[in-house]
Amino acid sequence: MTAPAPDVEGLAWEGSVLRLENDLAVARVALQGAQVLTYAPRGGAPVLWLSRRAVFAPGKAVRGGIPVCWPWFGPHPTDPSKPAHGFARTAIWTLEAASRTTDGGHELVLSLPPRAGAACGWTYPVELNLTITIGSALGLALCSRNNGSAPVVIGGALHSYFSVGDVGKIRILGLEGKSFVDQLAPSETKSEPVPIGIAGETDRVYDDPGPQSVIDDELLARRIFIEKTGSRSTVVWNPWLEKGRRLADVGQDQVRDFVCVETANALKNVVTLPPGGEHRLGLVIRAEEY
């Protein structure tokens, strides 16, 4: 399924995936899930990781890039039979607009059809749009608007997979001293005074950690700056060897190639949208070489 080809220089369809190319960057965005699959600054290494075993099939979540988790994060809070991370990441979105930006990049606006969550019992009149900006930085802004007469509770995440030289040799800065729930021992709340290193399976939800994190990658000689808005949780995840082996679209040979640092509202940080209320979950990613 594809949308009509936009009459914008630098855009082309590859099936249901839109390829964007300009003087600043190259990226691919899928209609399924409104998912940014790849992004790299012009002449630079990929910033996002996409699994070599990613499955592209209707209703199947794609491993890598930036999945949109909405309207809940992780398991459904009351019904585990409903899809993990919500339905937005596997729904077919609509391309509403495509244009060039004043600095020579591209901007896309995608919307989620109102009935996309009907099969999951989601009947709330919440309008969802995602604006993606492709340039010297990668920007995403997920806007939820409650068009109904009753409050609606939403959670979610921009579930970013970042490409790294070796996950065991990176440091993640900006979360030092911040409290987190260790999802591997969820009864415990912890904090660490030093930058994060990954030395085993990691699944942490940081509470209100601040607006910026930085992935310092000595092997690739670069830093990835992650700036966020409308987010009170940051999730850090890597399955490591044993769990990675059990994930068919990851495998032990790829677990050291990525780390997830996710812009989220999770656990107690879900958002209540009042009638007519709006919430924006924003993310800007910028890579700088040493």
Does 1 reside within a domain?
A: no
241 to 48, 182, 199, 215, 261: CA distances (angstroms):
20, 18, 10, 21, 18
Most distant CA atoms of the chain, gap in Å = 53
Q: What does the pLDDT look like over 250-270, one tens digit per residue? A: 999 999 999 999 999 999 999
- For residue 197, the model assigns a pLDDT of 96
- 189: helix, strand or coil: strand
Does 229 reside within a domain?
A: yes
Does 226 reside within a domain?
A: yes
* CA 32/CA 37 separation, integer angstroms: 11
Give me the long-range contacts of 246-249 (CB less than 8 A, separation at least 24): 247/63, 248/53, 249/51, 249/53, 249/54, 249/55, 249/63
* CA 50/CA 58 separation, integer angstroms: 18
Strand locations in 147-266, DSSP E?
152-154, 156-158, 161-163, 170-173, 180-182, 189-190, 202-207, 212-217, 222-229, 233-238, 258-265
In order, the DSSP letters of 16-39 are TEEEEE-SSEEEEEETBTTEEEEE
User: Is 106 one of the catalytic residues?
Assistant: no
Q: What is the dihedral of CA 163, 48, 210, 177, to 10 degrees?
A: -10
Express as a percent the part of the chain with pLDDT over 90: 94
User: Is 262 one of the catalytic residues?
Assistant: yes
Count of helix runs (H) and strand runs (E) in the chain: 1, 22
Residue 126: give its domain's CATH number.
2.70.98.10
Of the residues 96, 201, 262, 279, which is catalytic? 262
Task: Give the pLDDT mean for 211-223.
Answer: 97
Does 3 reside within a domain?
A: no
Task: Give the pLDDT mean for 104-116.
Answer: 95
> What is the spatial order of strands in the sheet that 17-21 belongs to?
11-14, 17-21, 25-30, 35-41
Domain count of the chain? 1
pTM: 0.96
Q: What does the pLDDT look like over 129-172, one tens digit per residue? A: 999 999 999 999 999 999 999 999 999 999 999 999 999 999 99
Identify the CA nearest to 56 among candidates 23, 32, 87, 92. 32
Joined together, the tokens standing for residue 90 give 């596997």
Express as a percent the part of the chain with pLDDT over 70: 98
Q: What does the pLDDT look like over 226-242, one tens digit per residue? A: 999 999 999 999 999 99
pLDDT tier for residue 44 given thresholds of 50, 70 and 90: very high
Locate tokens 């019992």: which residue?
A: 121
Domain limits for position 101:
11-289
Does 249 reside within a domain?
A: yes
Of the residues 9, 21, 159, 242, which is catalytic? 159
Query: Is the pLDDT at 4 greater than 90, yes or no?
Result: no
Does 6 reside within a domain?
A: no
pLDDT tier for residue 284 given thresholds of 50, 70 and 90: very high
* CA 256/CA 80 separation, integer angstroms: 30
Does 5 reside within a domain?
A: no
Q: What does the pLDDT look like over 163-213, one tens digit per residue? A: 999 999 999 999 999 999 999 998 789 999 999 999 999 999 999 999 999
- For residue 6, the model assigns a pLDDT of 67
Query: Is the pLDDT at 3 greater than 70, yes or no?
Result: no
* CA 164/CA 169 separation, integer angstroms: 9
Does 236 reside within a domain?
A: yes
Residue 200 exposure: Cα atoms within 13 Å on the Cβ side: 2
